[in-house]
Chain A
Amino acid sequence: AQSVTQPDARVTVSEGASLQLRCKYSYFGTPYLFWYVQYPRQGLQLLLKYYPGDPVVQGVNGFEAEFSKSNSSFHLRKASVHWSDWAVYFCAFQGTGSKLSFGKGAKLTVSP
């Protein structure tokens, strides 16, 4: 089945520390992958997207993600987390149709 899995439901990182949020996908072909962020009581905002090409994609606010076909992964990274990054992060998969299938999300808490 086509899907994405986010194994870490809750992540706590100190402000200024680096961050990695994991995403694993299951798809026979080449997936189109996205990371969205949801701040409290807001909709989903696009952080970055992977369309087949360069495996490392840059997003907004210093986020980047790396696609790995061998590991079926699309992990999100940030070198230095800011308190304003406190939010829920969703990995999403887009197959041959246009709709997105989302992971369960990772709630990021930033500690002082």
Chain B
Amino acid sequence: NAGVIQTPRHKVTGKGQEATLWCEPISGHSAVFWYRQTIVQGLEFLTYFRNQAPIDDSGMPKERFSAQMPNQSHSTLKIQSTQPQDSAVYLCASSLGGTGGVRKTLYFGSGTRLTVL
């Protein structure tokens, strides 16, 4: 089991450019989560999917950020018109899908470090 795979490990973009981050969850996991990590804010929840459907996007910035899960084997986080304040480590996690209040453990990838110049 390779664990959660995130690509690329590092991405540098110029201000105003688009950035797309990729996540491949653990095989058999039906829930995918995205988090952002910065020194100042710590670990912030962005969004999550269960069985490819968006369940909670309460942490997503209203503008420029979007996430998709077109199939069970990958999810993408897209940031349009990147700004320096978007610089962060973006972490993806997956879990077995818990429903009806059943909680499952999250397993994290190594993250994508985004630097916006």
Contacts and interface: CB of A to CB of B under 8 A. Distances in A.
Nearest to B95: A98
A36 B111 CA distance: 15
A102 B105 contact: no
A98 B91 contact: no
A34 B21 CA distance: 26
What DSSP secondary structure best describes chain B's contact surface? Answer: strand
A83 interface: no
Contacts, number: 50
A75 interface: no
Interface in B6-25: 6
A103 B102 CA distance: 22
10 contacts: A36-B108, A41-B110, A43-B111, A97-B56, A98-B31, A98-B50, A98-B55, A98-B95, A100-B33, A101-B45
Task: Please name the 10 residue pairs, one residue from A and one from B, whose CB atoms are nearest each other, closest first.
Answer: A102-B43, A44-B108, A43-B108, A43-B110, A32-B103, A104-B42, A94-B103, A99-B45, A43-B111, A43-B109
Interface of A: 32, 34, 36, 41-46, 49, 51, 90, 94, 96-105
